[in-house]
Amino acid sequence: MHKIIIAIDGHSSCGKSTLARSLAQRLGYTYIDSGAMYRAVTLYLLRHGISAAERERIDAVLPKLQLSFNDKNEMLLNGENVEHEIRQMKVSNYVSEVAAVPEVRRAMVEQQQEMGRQRGIVMDGRDIGTVVFPDAELKIFLTASSQTRAQRRHEELRQKGYPSTIAEVEKNLAHRDHIDSTREDSPLKQAADAIIIDNTRLSREAQLARALELAHQAGATGSS
């Protein structure tokens, strides 16, 4: 079976993880949510009262952080399941500041590249096609209108029982998009060879069908 690397990048809350997860499942690949790793680092710093400006302290604690995923793709931080906590607004409101810190990025990218050594992975994030796997066989840049993104995330948070207002979610997405796109170290941008999928008016099934078609064209021979 020929295994490839699939990179999915895009702005906050445009459905990257929904697509990446289902694509990985259909191909028999491993799904890796790189954003969850930045969220877990953020949670650790919040818990220990370390700010994103304290780069030396961050550099000192990074080796103490063990990040892994369980078989349900839930995030484990030093063995503790933090999946629910990292999705809450207190983490969303600070994660982009933390993800802009070069020491954090260096440590995360190193681990992500290691995870991809076996190939057969779908990884979603902001810099996967540009920095983590510039040689990925398939790069998708996912987009959706900002209104659609805010509505989807608000609904997702409501279903999970996390309190938020649509205004708060909209503000957070705009804030993160701004920092993620303008930071100096590996800003969010479309790789030159990425294929755009705008899913504003696409159903999940239609989006998955399009991505599967692209994966097969790129040489994936997994079960689908």
Query: Could you list the residues that contact ligand CDP (CB under 6 A)?
Result: 12-13, 17, 34-35, 38-39, 95-96, 99, 125-128, 176, 180
Would you say 109 or 215 has its CB closer to ligand CDP? 109
The Cα 91–Cα 95 span in angstroms is 6
DSSP one-letter code for 184: S
User: 205 to each of 11, 40, 66, 135, how far by Cα in Å?
Assistant: 21, 30, 35, 27
Whether 137 and 191 have beta carbons less than 8 Å apart is answered as no
Q: CA 83: distance to chain centroid? A: 13
Would you say 47 or 178 has its CB closer to ligand CDP? 178
Give the nearest distance from C-beta 13 to ligand CDP in angstroms.
4
Give the β-pairing of 75-77 and 80-81. Answer: antiparallel
Give the nearest distance from C-beta 116 to ligand CDP in angstroms.
13
Give the nearest distance from C-beta 34 to ligand CDP in angstroms.
4
For the chain, the C-alpha Rg in angstroms (whole number) is 17
Q: What residue is closest to ligand CDP based on CB?
A: 35
Would you say 61 or 179 has its CB closer to ligand CDP? 179
* Amino acid occupying residue 64: K
Would you say 12 or 22 has its CB closer to ligand CDP? 12
Give the nearest distance from C-beta 222 to ligand CDP in angstroms.
23
Helix, strand, coil abundance in the chain, percent, nearest 5: 50, 15, 35
The Cα 10–Cα 177 span in angstroms is 9
Give the nearest distance from C-beta 75 to ligand CDP in angstroms.
10
Would you say 111 or 224 has its CB closer to ligand CDP? 111
DSSP one-letter code for 132: I
Whether 222 and 28 have beta carbons less than 8 Å apart is answered as yes
Would you say 38 or 44 has its CB closer to ligand CDP? 38
Give the nearest distance from C-beta 17 to ligand CDP in angstroms.
6
| Residue among 42, 175, 189, 13 at smallest CA distance from 101 | 42
